[in-house]
Structure 1
Amino acid sequence: MSPATQASGGQEPPMAAGVALARMRRQVRLGRWGVWVALACGPLALAAAAMPSPDASAAAAPAPSSSTVRTPAATDPSGYAELYLAAWLRSTGSDENSAQARLAQALAPSVALPRPEGAQPVLERAVAVRSAQRERGQWSVTVAAQYADFSVRYFAVPVVAGSDGGSFAVTGAPGQVAGPTPAKTPESAYGVSLPTKGVLAATVGEFLRAYLTGLGQVDRYLAPGVQLAALSGTSYTDLQVEQATAVEEAASAGTVPADGTRVRVQVQVTAHDKSGAWPMTYELTLTARAGRWEVSAFATASVTGGGSRS
C-alpha cells in the first residue's frame, strides 16, 4: 500500500480515483467502437479469419521427402540369354557335373539339359540378335549360335527380369526359331557423283591415303580447330578410291565454291596391305575455305574440336 493510501486510512486519494474512473470510461468507449466495427465488417472479418495466412500454409504443407523412390529401368537381358544358351548348347544331360552343365543349371535350375548323340558341331559363340519385352518383365531373346562349321542356328530364350532391374531367370528351354530377315536397305542420300578429276575428289583421296597409310601430313587437310586421332597398328601401303558421292549439288562443281560451303561425302575405297585388299567406306563433311576443301567432320573416326591450325 502506498504512503498516500496509508495516510488516508486505506482509501485512494480523490485525484487518483478520478484518473482511474476516466481510464475506465475510455476503455468502455473503445470497446463499444470495436463492437460496431466488428458488426459492420463481420462478413469480411469472417472471410479473412477463414483464409489461412501464408505462414500457416507454409507450416501446414508437408515438407518434401529428401529421398525419392524411383522405379529402376527395365534392363535388357540379352547378355544373360547369350551366356545361358552357350552353356546349354555345350552341356549334356549325361554329364551333369561338367562345367558347362553346372553353369546352365545355375542359370536355369528347372530347365532340362540337352542329350546330344554322336558327333556334334562345335559351338564357336552365341550372340543375341533381337530382344522383345513382354508384360510383367518377361522377355524373349533371339540368340544366334555360330558353329565351327560356319553354320548358324537361332534360338529364342525366354527370360524374366526382376523388379530391381538386376536379376534374371530363364523360365524355359530354348526353342529353335527362324533368324531375322534382312531389312530393306533405304535409298542412299548420297546421290550426287563427284567428278573423278575434280578438286573435291582429289582432296578426299589424298586425305584418306595420308590417314590410312601414315604417309603425308593429315593435318593439312583438316579445317581449323579440328583434330583427328591417328591410327595405330595399321600397315596399309596404298589406297584406291572406288567411288565418291555427295548429298549436296555443290560437290559436283569443278571449282571450289564460296567460303563456308559444306558438303557431305561418302567414299568407298580399297586399302592394300601385305595380306591383301580391304574394301572400306567413309563419310566425311568438307567445308570450302580460301579456295580449297577442308575436312571438318569424319564420321568413322575420332574427331574432336578445340585445336587450332592456320
Structure 2
Amino acid sequence: MSPVLTGRRKQAAPADPQLPTAWETGPELAAGSVAGWSTGAQANSAALMRWLVWGLIALGPLLGALAYLSVPATSAAPAPKTAPSAPAAAGGQGASGFATLFVAAYLSAGRGDEPKLAAYYPPAASMQLDGVSGQHRGEQLTVVRLRQTDNAVWSVTVAARVTGAQPTATTAPSTQPGASPSPAAAGDAVRYFQVPVATAPGAGGATAYTALALPAEVAAPERAKTPELVYGAMRQALPTDPRTQAVTSFLTAYLTKGGAELDRYLAPGTRLTAPSPAPYSGVAVDQLAVEGETGGEPVVSVPGDGTALRLLVTLRATGQDGVRLPLTYTLTLKARAGRWEIASLDGAPALTTPTPAPAASGAPGPAPAPTP
C-alpha cells in the first residue's frame, strides 16, 4: 500500500547544527530577518542605490563639461602684424603742412637750391634750376583745397602771394587789347599751386611724407554762390528803433570798454567775454537786417517777453589811431520787460531753410467729362 503523501514538506537539516532555522527561532527572527539582514535595512539600501544612480545621471553633463574645460586649449598662432596706416585726418593735416613748406621752398628756389627741393621731392636732386635763389618769394601761404585721391595720397592746393616777380624785356606784358597779363606782370598776385603728397608709416609711429611731383600751378578755386539768408534787406539803423539802441549799447561796451558794464545788456543766462584790451574807441551802427522783415516802416515798440529776433548788423568801429574799420555782427535779441537784450553773439549768419516741394497727391482727380 502506497504511503500517504502529506502537504507538509520536511525541512532539510541545516549544514551547521549551530545555526538555527527559521522554524527553530522565535517568531520575531522568523518574520523580520533574512540571512542576517533585516528587511528595513534592505529597503534603505535599495533606496540609497536608486538615489546614487539618479545623482550620477544628473551630474553627467556637468562632469562632462568640467572634463572638457580642464583640457588645456592649444594656443593659436599669432596673426602677422600689419603695418599701421596713418589716420586719414592726421594724414591730411600733415600733408597740408608738408605741401605748404614745399611750395615756399619751390617759389624761392634758384640755381644751387636743388638739394633743398630734394628734401620734399627726391628727383629734384638731378634737376638744374634757373634764376637767382631768393629772387621770388611766397608769402601768406595757406591751404585752400585738400582732397584724398588715393588711400595714402593727398592733393593739396596752396595759395601764395608771390613777391619779387617783376616784368623783364622778354616777359613784358602784352599791349594788345584784351590780352591777359603775364604771370611776371602780375607781381605780388595770389597764385595757386597743387601738390600731390604721399603718406606712409614712419619711425616711432609717426607719419612720413613725400611729394610725388613738383607743384603744378592751377586756377583759383571756384567761388561759391552766396546762399540766401533769413534776414531782410539791409536798411538804415534809426536811432529811435529799440533794436538799434540795444545793439549800439551792447557793441559799445563790448568793443570800447573791455567788457565793463557788459552784463547789463545781456539776457539772463547769457555769458560773453569782450576783447581785452579794448581795441576801439568808438562804435557807430550803420545798418540792420532783421529776420523776416520786408517793409521799411519805423519800429518804436518792443514785443512781449520771450520774443526772439535775429539781426545782421554793420557798423564802423574807430580804432585808437582814429581809423574807422567796417565790421559785421550777427546777433540774437530777446525781449524782456519792455526792452531788447542780447541773447547770443552768433558765429555766422543764419541761412534760409529750402521750402520742400509739395508732395504729389496719390488720389486720382475727377475724370474728364466725355466729349459728346
Taking structure 1 as the reference length, what is the TM-score of the superposition? 0.69
Q: Give the residue type in structure 2 aligned to 1:219.
A: D
In the alignment, is residue 83 of structure 1 matched against residue 121 of structure 2? no
Distance across 2 between alignment mates of 1:143 and 1:199 = 47
Select between 176-185 and 156-165 the one with higher mean Cα deviation.
156-165
**Contact 1:80 1:168 survives alignment (8 Å):** yes
In the alignment, is residue 104 of structure 1 matched against residue 104 of structure 2? no
Distance across 2 between alignment mates of 1:225 and 1:211 = 17
Match of 1:276 in 2: 323
User: Deviation of residue 47 (structure 1)?
Assistant: 12
Cα deviation 1:233-280 (Å, max 9, x = unaligned) = 445333222211122559985311111111111101111233522111
Superposed CA RMSD in Å reads 4.1
User: Deviation of residue 150 (structure 1)?
Assistant: 2.4
- Percent identity, aligned pairs only? 35
Taking structure 2 as the reference length, what is the TM-score of the superposition? 0.59
In the alignment, is residue 156 of structure 1 matched against residue 194 of structure 2? yes
Bigger RCO (CA 8 Å, 6+ sep)? 1
- Secondary structure of residue in 2 paired with 1:86: helix
Distance across 1 between alignment mates of 2:291 and 2:152 = 44
| Change in 2 beyond 3 A, CA 1:174/1:50 | farther
Distance across 1 between alignment mates of 2:253 and 2:273 = 13
Q: Give the residue type in structure 1 aligned to 2:307.
A: T
| Change in 2 beyond 3 A, CA 1:223/1:50 | same
**Contact 1:124 1:147 survives alignment (8 Å):** yes
| Change in 2 beyond 3 A, CA 1:179/1:30 | same
Q: Give the residue type in structure 2 aligned to 1:183.
A: A
Distance across 1 between alignment mates of 2:255 and 2:208 = 45
Structure with greater helix percent: 1
Q: Give the residue type in structure 1 aligned to 2:315.
A: V
Distance across 2 between alignment mates of 1:234 and 1:95 = 50
- Secondary structure of residue in 2 paired with 1:158: strand
Cα deviation 1:173-229 (Å, max 9, x = unaligned) = 111111201110101211266772311122112221232222973332112333332
Distance across 2 between alignment mates of 1:267 and 1:158 = 42
Q: Give the number of equivalent residue pairs.
A: 264
Distance across 2 between alignment mates of 1:233 and 1:296 = 23
| Change in 2 beyond 3 A, CA 1:26/1:177 | same
Task: Name structure 2 gaps, 5 residues minimum.
Answer: 1-28, 76-81, 164-186, 349-372
Task: Name structure 1 gaps, 5 residues minimum.
Answer: 1-13, 63-68, 302-310
- Of 186, 191, 208, the match for 1:167: 208
- Secondary structure of residue in 2 paired with 1:208: helix
Q: Give the residue type in structure 2 aligned to 1:268.
A: T
